[in-house]
Amino acid sequence: MGISGRIIKAVSGFYYVKPDRGQETEVPPKDGNVYQCRAKGIFRKKKLSPLVGDRVVMELTATDDVEGNVTEISDRKNSLIRPQVANVDQALLIFAMHTPEPAPDLIDRFLVLMKKSGIDVILIFNKNDLGNDIEIEKYKSIYKDAGIRLIFTSTIDGSGVPEVREILKNSVTTVAGPSGAGKSSLINAVSGREIMVTGEVSRKIGRGKQTTRHVELVEIEEDSYIIDTPGFSSLELPEMEPLELQDSFPEIGRYKNECYFAGCSHISEPDCGVRDRLAKGLIPKERYDSYVLFYNDLVTLQNRRFR
């Protein structure tokens, strides 16, 4: 009879499964409360790989180096490629106000990816103590109609930490952002204990030293999990048609039916309702610039596919 549980960590082909409550066995795991497992070969034939966050069934083995085999993977409500996680309730995207400087292009790419995956986003600007009121208002203005929640935090003065703690309750949350943004420090502050290894920002290159080497689901309190992931410096757009992109920018998509031409790209066509709202200041220029950049990227990828 199999044991149901959840994959909380994946490292070098091993999957660490935490059994569900009531799934106690006569063979306790060697490492705390998780079993080290391999995946059955049938998944390779199906071109399916287990992911952190997967609900699975495992069977115990008698080998010395492996405690169990993952035999079933339950249907996923969602999954991501980067980070490679499944069954996520929300995404916490963490950038620093400074050191390193935030990258608007990277923020907007991530928002498009999460929108395409149907995952709610909380955008956090950490190291709030390094910023000022003018910068805070600027970011509020840029993202106020982006369909996300925006929080400013600091592990130095504790601002925003209680709000983040409340958001994480009873949810599985993937945490992502560039190295050096203070992801681990913030999660430690939220949980009230040191559960993530922190690193320093390199003075020479202005980026953080990578402290997270694998994807792991960490229980910060009962029924509240975060998936800490390696930092990223680049991110690919999800596969989509260029005209689909407008729906990933709520402040642009809301005006798509006010254009003269059906299928308007909102870039060069006349009588464009979106560009009219842009000129009136109703759409942030920073977000529109990202839209144009991404649209052209998608057109280029589309043209390559049809060559």
Domain definitions of the chain by residue range? 3-75, 80-228, 242-305
**pLDDT, tens digit, for every residue of 269-303?**
999 999 999 999 999 999 999 999 999 999 999 98
Q: How far apart are CA 199 and CA 202, in angstroms?
A: 9
pLDDT confidence band for 74 (50 / 70 / 90)? very high
How confident is the prediction for the chain on average, in pLDDT? 87
Q: How far apart are CA 267 and CA 270, in angstroms?
A: 9
Same fold, 80-228 and 242-305: no
Question: Considering the domain 80-228 in this protein, what is its CATH number?
Answer: 3.40.50.300
**pLDDT, tens digit, for every residue of 41-55?**
878 778 888 999 999
Most confident of 70-84, 187-201, 280-294: 280-294
pLDDT confidence band for 64 (50 / 70 / 90)? low
Closest CA to 153 of 130, 121, 119: 130
The CATH homologous superfamily for domain 242-305 is Probable gtpase engc; domain 3 (1.10.40.50)
Q: Letter for the amino acid at 135?
A: E
Q: Over pLDDT 70: what percentage of the chain?
A: 89
Element (H, E) at 9: strand 3-11
More confidently predicted of 68 and 274: 274
Inter-residue contact 98 to 131 (CB < 8 Å):
yes
Cα 210 from chain centre: 17
The per-residue DSSP string of 65-125 comes to S--EEEEEEPPPS-EETTTTEES-SEEEEEEESSSSPP-HHHHHHHHHHHHHHT-EEEEEE
267 burial via Cβ count (<10 Å: 0-12, 13-18, 19+): middle
Inter-residue contact 266 to 291 (CB < 8 Å):
yes
- Which has the minimum average pLDDT: 150-159, 187-196, 293-302? 187-196
pLDDT score of 42: 77
Which are the contacts of 98, defined by CB distance < 8 A and separation ≥ 6?
127, 130, 131
Cα 291 from chain centre: 20
pLDDT confidence band for 27 (50 / 70 / 90)? confident
pTM of whole model > 0.85?
no
**What fold characterizes domain 3-75?**
OB fold (Dihydrolipoamide Acetyltransferase, E2P) (2.40.50)
In the Cβ-directed half-sphere of 176, how many Cα atoms lie within 13 Å? 24
pLDDT score of 197: 64
42 burial via Cβ count (<10 Å: 0-12, 13-18, 19+): exposed
Residue 135 tokens, joined = 């910068």
> Is the per-residue pLDDT at 35 higher than 50?
yes
pLDDT score of 227: 82
